Amino acid sequence: MKLQFWLNHLLEKSQTLVQKTQKRVLVAITALILVTIAPLYYPFLGYFPSFLWNNSSQSSPSSSSFNTVKNTKGAASTTQCDIFTGEWVPNPEAPYYTNLSCWAIHEHQNCMKYGRPDTEFMKWRWKPNDCELPIFNPAKFLQLVTGKSLAFVGDSVARNQMQSLICLLSRVEYPVDVSYTADEHFKRWKYMSYNFTIASFWTPFLVKAEETEADGPTKTGLFNLYLDEFNPEWTTQIDDFDYLIISAGHWFFRPGMYYEKGQLVGCRYCLIENVTDLPMSYGYRKAIHTALRAINSLESFKGVTILRTFAPSHFENGLWNQGGNCLRRRPYRSKEKRLDGTDLELYRIQVEEFKVAAERGGKRGGLKFRLLDTTQASLLRPDGHPSRYGHWPHENVTLYNDCVHWCLPGPIDTWNDFLLDMLKMEERSHTADLKKVTR
């Protein structure tokens, strides 16, 4: 009997050991799978995957995401916080300017002027998951940029952000127009009291491009895109700028002829016989790569390059030119909406090309690249677009419902909250570098 008891006891221990071993193996396998696939689903996790920056000379792409938070005792402490991942929460104190107080608002984004009946879209702020993102402080911003210059390089959404910044700064000072040309696509504004200049460079494809047909297959034009050639209209003008904010995306949905080394290599929906139809992502990656390579090739440019990530449109119930509209009146919660399809592809291309450029910039001698990740915050705001409130109802206009640009005031103001936080981070980094030099 005793022998049988000990045999049973040993058998039970063996089974328990096997079960524990199996659990450990299962946990290890699960962890390995998560490590492998998790990067594919950023920004829906609360971190920026480290595989995107393996250059020891560079910090995380979201290098601004060091924020001051309060610990349980109420004392301030500096900790790491991803400011770009969070939720929209009510902010009854907003907006901080109006369409009547700011003259910089483009007519097509002046939603209140053209009769938008609701105002709740202006009364939200971005709340990161692990810290607070301060509301834009115009005096602090101007203090940080005194004696400096900043350029927005891209399309009309880039200009939309510049107009938001001018409106936010209007509580302290309005700039003077110091543009060197009458072309509205290339503007310069100067804040005289702070010797601070803002510029905008119109380059919707970032690379050299030309329109060959006004209509094209989709009635939106047909363009020749020279995917490996710099666009001199901006690349020859940025040497002296302290900050560049680069962005592009929506124009790549239009038909285009793709050229490399002067030869036609294919097209995006050109519908021309014997021309290979390539995905939009092909041209987009090449253009982003070329634009960032252009910056790295400029020997005299010493500024900080900020790549702003893609802001998805919000057309529903049809394409943009087929009756689609954006009629929602509240933000999504983060669990309600996920980045997918082409939007996700464009976002990932930007992040991957950012990594390449940052590594090259570091090798060149510490040229700085930063990522202004507006994608998730923008994705969650279907309520912030002009829709049909960019003109009077009786006007005979060729515009469709606008679910690409942003009402002012509106969600795009938060992009400049992000920008100010990034400038604060740059200032802290610069101060730390100076201390190292003086030791």
Are residue 242 and residue 350 in the same domain, yes or no?
Answer: yes
| Token pair 């301060």 in the structure block, residue | 134
| pLDDT at residue 46 tops 60 | no
Q: How far apart are CA 372 and CA 414, in angstroms?
A: 11
Are residue 433 and residue 375 in the same domain, yes or no?
Answer: yes
DSSP 182-228: S-TTEEEEEETTTTEEEEEEE-TTSEEEEEEESSTTTTS-EEEEEEE
- Rounded to the nearest 10°, the torsion over CA 419, 423, 424, 429 is 140
User: What's the pLDDT band for 59 if we cut at 50, 70, 90?
Assistant: very low
User: What's the pLDDT band for 225 if we cut at 50, 70, 90?
Assistant: very high
Q: Which amino acid is at 417?
A: D
The pLDDT of residue 53 is: 32
Strands (E), 20-139: 66-70, 76-80, 86-90, 124-128
User: What's the pLDDT band for 342 if we cut at 50, 70, 90?
Assistant: very high
By residue range, what is the domain housing residue 28? 2-39
User: What's the pLDDT band for 398 if we cut at 50, 70, 90?
Assistant: low
The rounded Cα 10 to chain-centroid distance in angstroms is: 62
Any residues with CB less than 8 A from the CB of 157 and at least 6 apart, and which? 247, 249, 250, 311, 404, 405, 406
Residue 107 lies in a domain: yes
User: What's the pLDDT band for 43 if we cut at 50, 70, 90?
Assistant: very low
- Cβ neighbour number for residue 228 with a 10 Å cutoff: 17
Are residue 20 and residue 166 in the same domain, yes or no?
Answer: no
More confident residue, 84 or 72: 84
| pLDDT at residue 334 tops 90 | yes
How many structural domains are present in the chain? 2
Residue 415 lies in a domain: yes
| pLDDT at residue 267 tops 60 | yes
The pLDDT of residue 323 is: 79
Are residue 87 and residue 125 in the same domain, yes or no?
Answer: yes
Any residues with CB less than 8 A from the CB of 436 and at least 6 apart, and which? none
**Helices and strands in the chain: count of H runs, count of E runs:** 8, 15
More confident residue, 52 or 127: 127
The pLDDT of residue 404 is: 96
Residue 108 lies in a domain: yes
The pLDDT of residue 124 is: 98
The pLDDT of residue 143 is: 98
Are residue 13 and residue 128 in the same domain, yes or no?
Answer: no
The pLDDT of residue 278 is: 97
The rounded Cα 135 to chain-centroid distance in angstroms is: 18
Closest CA to 153 of 59, 232, 258, 40: 232
Residue 400 lies in a domain: yes
Are residue 386 and residue 311 in the same domain, yes or no?
Answer: yes
The pLDDT of residue 33 is: 35
Q: Are 247 and 308 spatial neighbours (Cβ–Cβ below 8 Å)?
A: yes
Closest CA to 199 of 150, 161, 166, 159: 150
Q: How far apart are CA 240 and CA 83, in angstroms?
A: 29
Which one-letter DSSP state was computed for residue 27?
Answer: H
Is the bond leading into 411 cis (omega within 30 degrees of zero)?
no
Are residue 9 and residue 74 in the same domain, yes or no?
Answer: no
| pLDDT at residue 38 tops 50 | no
Q: Write out pLDDT tens, residues 188-219.
A: 999 999 999 999 999 999 999 999 998 888 88
Q: Which amino acid is at 207?
A: V
Are residue 376 and residue 343 in the same domain, yes or no?
Answer: yes
The pLDDT of residue 68 is: 39
Closest CA to 205 of 183, 235, 182: 235
| pLDDT at residue 320 tops 50 | yes
The pLDDT of residue 397 is: 62
Residue 296 lies in a domain: yes
The pLDDT of residue 363 is: 87
Average pLDDT over residues 338-358: 97
Q: Write out pLDDT tens, residues 99-115.
A: 999 999 999 999 999 99
The pLDDT of residue 439 is: 61
Residue 177 lies in a domain: yes
The rounded Cα 67 to chain-centroid distance in angstroms is: 19
- What's the residue count for the chain? 439
Report the catalytic residues: 156, 402, 405
Are residue 312 and residue 183 in the same domain, yes or no?
Answer: yes
Q: Which of 240-244, 355-359, 394-398, 418-422 has the lowest mean pLDDT?
A: 394-398
Report percent pLDDT > 90 for the chain.
Answer: 72
Are residue 32 and residue 144 in the same domain, yes or no?
Answer: no
Q: Which amino acid is at 192?
A: M
Are residue 148 and residue 10 in the same domain, yes or no?
Answer: no
Residue 428 lies in a domain: yes
Are residue 34 and residue 84 in the same domain, yes or no?
Answer: no
| pLDDT at residue 177 tops 90 | yes
Residue 223 lies in a domain: no
